[in-house]
Amino acid sequence: MRDLGKMLLILAGALAVVGALMTLGGRIPGLGKLPGDFVWRRGGTTVYVPLATSVILSIVLSLLLWLFGRRGG
């Protein structure tokens, strides 16, 4: 039960961080408008693929998790 509780707390924290990023995402300059982010518009349909933004966020989050993981171990 103890491990399940710890996992649920980590999941809740991750969801809170993702929610905050989504809320503040429009306010961070350049986020979502990087050279590797693709937008296709045809007729009434728009397809948005934030490839570069996803890679940068993944690197930043990986570094943060790595740093916090080193402290606990």
Residues 52 and 73 grouped into a single domain? yes
pLDDT score for 47: 93
d(CA 60, CA 34): 16
State the Cα torsion 18-42-51-24 to the nearest 10°.
-30
Query: What is the per-residue pLDDT across 3-57, written as a single tens digit (0 to 9) for each?
Result: 888 888 988 988 888 888 778 766 777 777 889 999 999 999 999 898 998 898 8
Residues 23 and 38 grouped into a single domain? no
Q: Are 29 and 13 in contact (CB under 8 A)?
A: no
- Domain of 6 in residue numbering reads as 1-29
Question: Structural domain tally of the chain?
Answer: 2
Better-predicted residue by pLDDT, 39 or 69: 39
Residues 49 and 64 grouped into a single domain? yes
Residues 46 and 58 grouped into a single domain? yes
pTM of the predicted protein model:
0.56
Distances (CA, A) of 49 to 15, 23, 41, 42, 43: 21, 19, 12, 15, 17
47 DSSP β-pair partners: 40
pLDDT score for 45: 95
